[in-house]
Structure 1
Amino acid sequence: MKKTVCELFAGVGGFRCGLNNIRTVEDYGKEEKWDTVWFSQWEPSEKKTQYAHDCYVYRFGTRLDKNGEDTTNYNIEDVDKTTIPDFNLLVGGFPCQDYSVASSLATSKGLEGKKGILWWSIREILEIKKPPFVLLENVDRLLKSPAKQRGRDFGVILACFRDEGYTVEWRVINAAEYGYQQRRRRTFIFAYKNNTRYATKILNTIGYTDTLEEENKEKCMESVILNDGFFAETFSVNKAKSAKMKVKRLSSEVGEVSDTFQCLFENSGIMKDGIIYTIKTVPNYHGKQITLGDIMETEKVEEQYFIPEEKLYYTDPMITHSDETKQRLPKEDRQTWQYLKGAKKLLRTSSTGHKYVFSEGAISMIDQEDKPARTMLTSEGGFSRTTHIVKDKMTGRVRLLTATEAERIQGFPTNHTKYCLVKGEKVEMPLRKRRFMMGNALVVNLIVDMEKTLNDIFDEE
């Protein structure tokens, strides 16, 4: 089978870098295995310059649709899906939203999602392009949303796949638990058409038939999750202590799933023929651990990254708590990293006039170099509790992460986001945007690992 790819919500190309094992700037243009025939990246909040798209184009060039037009920077909802070139693998890190449907219909035919919910564009592509394989990424809370109907959103997604003839595996993966440089938990979804050779191979391996008793079907599905499936083959796991398989059937119509479905999904599972099998697993990894210190700069760092002393502490550096229930600290004290990252108690008033004490625990002022980095967010580098602060290796001074360190935390080549191609002109991406792009990205190393399994699957297809 041809290794052709369509990358949705492409960002700056994390899936593309991972699939083609692009590790350094010298690797661009050497995509020998996986051919990305089309991609889509559009950021609605960017009114003037589409930095992510323009960075992607600078690194990889653009791709035209079947009409010979460049629609890669259109809102995906406005793209005519029939014009997308044919492909065999759909990938993307789609936004986490509310996946409820606009209305419950008697049948799922013609069912539409609410405007602005980008999952429905993925479903439309599944219907029109019918890719045999799909690999998607989302935040870990996808399995639990929304709070008032736990599991509904993921149930809607699974029902859509079922209706298009797919079997679906999922796994919540923390990159650090497989040796990589960031503690980042994300839900990965791997779906494959039921008429693929891979689907037949899996069923033969586990001895599954439609005539099996339910208890034996459950054992077969557990084998997929723990030993024989896509994620088990790529990232070894064990069954969590005292874990038991949960089995739940999806309603026959997507509208019914949206209205009534609830499920406490575990971190691993599979959906086949509308039946969900989910069980808690734990990583089985005993290899090398990459740490924050391993990816930090060892040479001279620009002065702009260093934090002035007056912005670090407002009092003794050993103080990690502040009590403002009786009186607020002065504004200049509160605008220090010590205050921001320290524990605090504040007196607040609710919308109904009720007074209460808001409490917040302390987090480490300086990030530990001997551990993987904490989860990087889009606010990285800003005045935020989640921003990483490190001690410079050359000078010992305290500073923020450099743009290249942020790239390495996500497994991108150094300086991947440095330049963009804007209206045919090479321009530098602003530092703030470079950090934002990395906060939005995935850990490329995980896709590198998944590619090895995908490559074998495609070679046998």
Structure 2
Amino acid sequence: MKKTVCELFAGVGGFRCGLNNIKTAEDYDKKEKWDTVWFNQWEPAEKTTQYAHDCYVYRFGTRVDIDGEDTTNYNIEDVNKAKIPDFNLLVGGFPCQDYSVASSLATSKGLEGKKGVLWWSIRETLEVKKPPFVLLENVDRLLKSPAKQRGKDFGVMLSCFRDEGYTVEWRVINAAEYGYQQRRRRIFIFAYKNDTKYAERILKRIRYTNELEENKKIECMENVVLKEGFFAETFAVNKADKAKMKTKVLPAEVGEVSETFQCIFENSGIMKDGIIYTIKTLPNYNGEQITLGDVMESGEVEEEYFIPEEKLYYTNPSVTHSDETEQRLPKEDRQTWQYLKGAKKLLRTSATGHEYVFSEGAISMIDQEDKPARTMLTSEGGFSRTTHIVKDKMTGRVRLLTATEAERIQGFPTNHTKYCLVKGKTVEMPLRKRRFMMGNALVVNLVADMEKTLDNIFAEE
């Protein structure tokens, strides 16, 4: 089977880098094993610039549709999916939203999302292009959203896959638990058409129609999740202590899923023919561990990254707690990293006028170099509790992460986001945007691992 790819919600090309093992600047010029025939990246919040798309184009060039038009920077909702060139693997890191649908619809055809419209663009692509394989990434809270109807959003997605003839495996993966440089937990979803050779091979033992054999079917599905499936083959796991495979049947209509369905999805599972099988697993990894220190700069770092002494501490550096229930600290004290990252108690007033004590715990002021980095967010580099602060290796001074360090934490080549191609001209991406792109990205190393499994799957199709 040809290794052709469509990358939706492409960002700066994390899936593409992972699939093609792009690790250094020299790798951009090598022939790509996986041919990205079309991609799409559109940031609706950006009115005058499209830095992610323009960075992608700088690195990889653009792609046109079957009419020869470049629609890669269009709102995906406005793209005619029939115009996308044919492909065999759909990939994308799509946003997590509310996947409510009109409950009165008799079938999944013509669904209208109240929110979460981006999922419907994926579903429409599945319906029109019918790719045999799909690999998606999202935040792990997708399994539990929304709070008032736990599991509904993921259930809607699974029912859409079911209606289009797919089996779906999923796994929540923390990159650091498989040796990589960031403690980043995300859900990955692998779907495959029921008529593929892969589906036949993986599910060959699932031939039971008699209700008396239900336990045997569960045993076979557990074997897929724990040993033989896509994620089990790529990232070894053990069954959690005392964990048991749980099952649940999806309602026949997607509208009913949206209206009434709830499910406690565990971190691993599979959906086949509308039946959900889910079980809690634990990572089984004993290899090397990449740490924050391994990806930090060892040479000279530009002065703009260093934090002035007066912005670090407002009192003795050993102080990690502040109590402001009696009186607030001066504004200049509260605008220090020591205060921001420290534990605190302060009085607040609710919308109804009720006074209460807000409290939060302390987090480490300086990030530990001998451990994987904490999860990087889009606010990286801003005055935020989640921003990484490190001790410079050359000078010992305290500073923020450089743009290149942020790239390495996500597994991108150094300076991947430095340049963009804007209206035919090469321009530098602003520092705050480079950090934002990395906070929005996935850990490329994980996709590189999955590529090895995908390569074998495609070779047999």
Give your verdict on TM over 0.5. Answer: yes
* Match of residue 209 from structure 2: 211
Post-superposition CA distance 1:73-114 (Å, at most 9, x none)? 000000000000000000000000000113431333322223
**1:211 maps to amino acid:** T
What is the CA-CA distance between 1:336 and the residue it aligns to? 0.2
* Runs of 5+ unmatched residues, structure 2: none
Equivalent residue, structure 2, for 1:338: 338
Deviation string 1:199-250 (CA, Å, 9 cap, x unpaired) is 001122xx22033511111000000000000000000000000101110000
- 3-state DSSP class of the match of 1:156? helix
Is the contact between residue 100 and residue 116 of structure 2 (CA under 8 Å) also seen in structure 1? no
Unaligned residue ranges in structure 1 (runs of 5+): none
Q: TM-score, normalised by structure 2?
A: 0.99
Q: Using the alignment, how far apart are the partners of 1:127 and 1:103 within structure 2?
A: 20
Preserved contact between residue 100 and residue 115 of structure 2 (Cα < 8 Å): no
Are residues 1:199 and 2:199 paired?
A: yes
Distance 2:422 2:48 in 1: 10
Contact 2:10/2:92, CA 8 A, preserved across alignment: yes
Secondary structure of the corresponding residue to residue 135 of structure 1: strand
- The residue number in structure 1 matching 2:179 is 179
Find the counterpart in structure 2 of residue 10 from structure 1: 10
Structure 2 counterpart of 1:315: 315
SS of structure 1 residue aligned to 2:372: coil
Percent same amino acid among aligned pairs? Answer: 85
Distance in 1 (alpha carbons) for counterparts of 2:371 and 2:125: 41
- Structure 2: how far apart are the matches of 1:115 and 1:362? 36
CA distance in 2, matches of 1:309, 1:453: 49
Partner of 2:155: 155
C-alpha contact (below 8 Å) 1:104/1:259 kept by paired residues: no
Deviations 1:412-434 (A, max 9, x none): 00000000000000000000000
For 1:140 and 1:33, locate their aligned partners in 2 and report how far apart those are by CA, in whole Å: 29
For the residues of structure 2 that align with 1:406 and 1:144, how far apart are their CA atoms?
29
The two structures, once aligned, show a CA RMSD in angstroms of 0.8
| Equivalent position of 1:458 in the other structure | 458
Letter in 2 for 1:26: E
Does structure 1 retain, via aligned residues, the 8 Å contact 2:97–2:115? Answer: no
Partner of 2:53: 53
Could you report, residue by residue, the CA deviation over 1:244-276 in whole angstroms, capped at 9, with x for unpaired residues?
Answer: 111000000000000000001000000000000
Equivalent residue pairs, number: 459
Contact 1:29 1:60 in 2 (8 A): no
CA contact (8 A) 1:3 1:33 kept: yes
Aligned equivalents of 2:239 and 2:218: distance in 1? 14
TM-aligned CA distance change 1:35 to 1:236, over 3 Å: same
C-alpha distance in 2 between matches for 1:116 and 1:262: 18
* Distance 1:115-1:203 versus aligned 2 partners, 3 A rule: closer
Shift of 1:115: 5.7
Instruction: Output the amino acid matched with 1:458.
Output: F
Which letter maps to 2:209? Answer: T
Partner of 2:91: 91
Aligned position for 1:385: 385
Tell me the equivalent position of 2:254.
254
How far apart, in 2, do the equivalents of 1:146 and 1:451 lie? Answer: 32
Aligned partner of residue 348 in structure 1, secondary structure: strand
Query: Partners of 1:245 and 1:447 in 2: how far apart?
Result: 27
In the other structure, the counterpart of 1:231 is 231
Q: 1:30, 1:56 → 2: CA distance?
A: 16
Q: Which amino acid aligns with 1:201?
A: R
Which residue in 2 is equivalent to 1:401? 401
Q: Write out per-residue CA displacement over residues 310-364 of structure 1, whole angstroms, 9 at most, x where no aligned residue.
A: 0000000000000001111000000000000000001001001111000000000
For 2:265, the equivalent position in structure 1 comes to 265
Cα distance in 1 for partners of 2:355, 2:32 equals 63
TM-score, length basis structure 1? 0.99
